[in-house]
Structure 1
């Protein structure tokens, strides 16, 4: 039992923490680690029906086999979610339900984040407070984040957003670029 708790903690420590922006990567890592630990039964199978006086030995055994991984998997999930997000997720004692709640939370947060990032990309202006290289990298990073949210920004649009973010003194550069591009 003690060795399992150390292994569970060690595995959870190696999973990236879900921070609201990295659901796909976090979910993939969680499922992998729970599979390696052979604790993924509660994710793969629905909760068995409650045990009654008329339950067969087979049903009782399956219930017991499902309950243990469910409890540990739930702990594992909670250990790998940022505290500020944990408090917004409805509490349940079912791993599969909990993961679905996290995914729903992510999807709603995802939509608002995508809108914010798109607005940021479209209105961003170069003000000289950082190098041109840093400005372009920042805009490229925003486009990459949008892509992970399912909103890919075509490279030609990204270049246009970058050109539009430049102040008037870069006008000759913009004209030169557009001339070269059209050839």
Structure 2
């Protein structure tokens, strides 16, 4: 870099701490000074979980998102522009300066969000893209193990009818996307067919409808059709439950025996019979056996009448 045309001014030598500049031009100068030397990082940039031995994928996602929110991801997205300090236009010099600042601060953010052991095992690079690739090579073997685990989870996925079918399908599609990011090459058509095979028998009608059509569904069409089918099954299930409950109530009412209406006289007669039996039965227990024939049930009924 060429610094011959730059003049350094030590503001600390001014005892009044005042340069004499005022107005919009001075405001732009001070804004440039503070933004270059005192970057205002968002809180999420400074709160990234440090890179250790098992969180590379999450760490990489957090780094890319955080640098994008802070407008520091230009060095990750675009190649380095040619130096334009002497022959370039003002726009080219500003673009080069912005890219250089993005590269420098991105390297600082990455190195800050690592443990000391990880940072010491990675060789320093001039550009942030090369530095990120060097970090990825250290975790390449762990990605293979992660791919095997994701593939096992993808193949063993099964919807049991509990929960939300939309969330289930989106979860399986997410597993497929992660596998594709690891170069497994699972097409969307295979994902749709796999999800249909993992549905319970209650969705068999929809599966047959899919198999009879020549065109395959997209993942969005699969989600829409499955949600509609689930809502239809819930409505039919509610109707069947109401029908069974009404049928049970009808059987219970048919099984009950109606008590005959005795009228006022009949009720009084029944009470007198109960009272008479309560008085006679203790006496029968004390009588000799040969005298029990005198007090049969028929005689008790006659006494009651």
Q: TM-score range by the shorter chain?
A: 0.5 to 0.7
Q: Which runs of 5+ in 1 are unaligned?
A: 42-68
Please identify the structure whose Cα radius of gyration is greater. Answer: 2
Work out the CA distance in 2 between the residues paired with 1:120 and 1:161.
13
Match of 2:38 in 1: 6
Match of 2:120 in 1: 91
Change (3 A) 1:161 1:87: farther
Match of 1:21 in 2: 57
Work out the CA distance in 1 between the residues paired with 2:75 and 2:117.
24
- Across the aligned residues of Structure 1 and Structure 2, the Cα RMSD in angstroms comes to 4.1
Work out the CA distance in 2 between the residues paired with 1:88 and 1:150.
29
Can you list the C-alpha shifts for 1:105-152, whole angstroms capped at 9, x where unaligned? 332232222222222111100022321111111111112222223333
Identify which range, 151-160 or 24-33, moves more after superposition: 24-33
Work out the CA distance in 2 between the residues paired with 1:93 and 1:113.
22
Match of 1:119 in 2: 152
Work out the CA distance in 2 between the residues paired with 1:78 and 1:178.
53
Work out the CA distance in 2 between the residues paired with 1:12 and 1:31.
16
Higher RCO, Cα 8 Å, sep 6+? 1
Work out the CA distance in 2 between the residues paired with 1:93 and 1:182.
50
* Residues 179, 186 of structure 2: 8 Å contact kept: yes
How far the C-alpha of 1:87 sits from its partner, in A, is 6.2
Can you list the C-alpha shifts for 1:50-103, whole angstroms capped at 9, x where unaligned? xxxxxxxxxxxxxxxxxxx6xx7654212345xxxx466261584229645521
SS at match of 2:136: helix
Instruction: Determine whether 1:107 maps to 2:140.
Output: yes
User: TM (normalized to structure 2)?
Assistant: 0.38
Work out the CA distance in 1 between the residues paired with 2:208 and 2:120.
57
Instruction: Determine whether 1:157 maps to 2:171.
Output: no
Work out the CA distance in 2 between the residues paired with 1:180 and 1:147.
27
Match of 1:76 in 2: 109
Instruction: Determine whether 1:169 maps to 2:202.
Output: yes
* Residues 31, 40 of structure 1: 8 Å contact kept: yes
Q: Which runs of 4+ in 1 moved over 6 A?
A: none
Change (3 A) 1:27 1:107: farther
User: TM (normalized to structure 1)?
Assistant: 0.58
Match of 1:146 in 2: 179
Match of 1:59 in 2: none
Q: Which runs of 5+ in 2 are unaligned?
A: 1-32, 81-97, 217-305
How far the C-alpha of 1:173 sits from its partner, in A, is 2.5
Q: What number of residue pairs does the alignment pair up?
A: 149
